[in-house]
Amino acid sequence: MTTLKAGDKAPSFSGTDQDGKTHKLSDYAGKKLVVFFYPKASTPGCTAEACDLRDNFHRFQANNYELLGVSADSPKAQIKFKEKYELPFPLLADEDKSVINAFGVWGPKKFMGKEYDGIHRTTFVIDEKGIIEEVIENVKTKEHASQILK
């Protein structure tokens, strides 16, 4: 899967959020950025993860972090997800998978004995200079904020 690791320069991405606003890595210079990739909006695991980050959003802000969620869902699905769970951070609707592929989180998965291609739930913590501080591949959806804010 992802070949990116701590110490690497983060990919210079550009993606559009649920409201059509463009987000680029350069927009976050001088701040820490958490980019979390999730398989599908409004599914149980993704909801648990997003709500845990939402519930700890004040802790992220206090530590100069911005959050950006990314999935291949449509803008409409991202709007519903964001509004239903009152998520205070943007969700990129990466339908063409340009950001997903830039970070290397698309690939073969197994579920209930079936193999298919999909998004691997992965989080990248990027420092103020655009360098990856940490890659979290073993995401604990209900306690993800604690994995990031140690």
Catalytic residues: 46
Nearest C-alpha neighbor of 8 from the set 100, 142, 136, 124: 124
The contacts of residue 115 (CB under 8 Å, 6+ apart) are 108, 109
Instruction: Return d(Cα 75, Cα 65) in angstroms, integer.
Output: 24
> Are the C-beta atoms of residues 15 and 94 closer than 8 Å to each other?
yes
CA atoms within 13 A on the CB side of 44: 0
Pairing outcome for strands 65-71 and 91-93: parallel
Nearest to 7 by CA among 131, 135, 103: 131
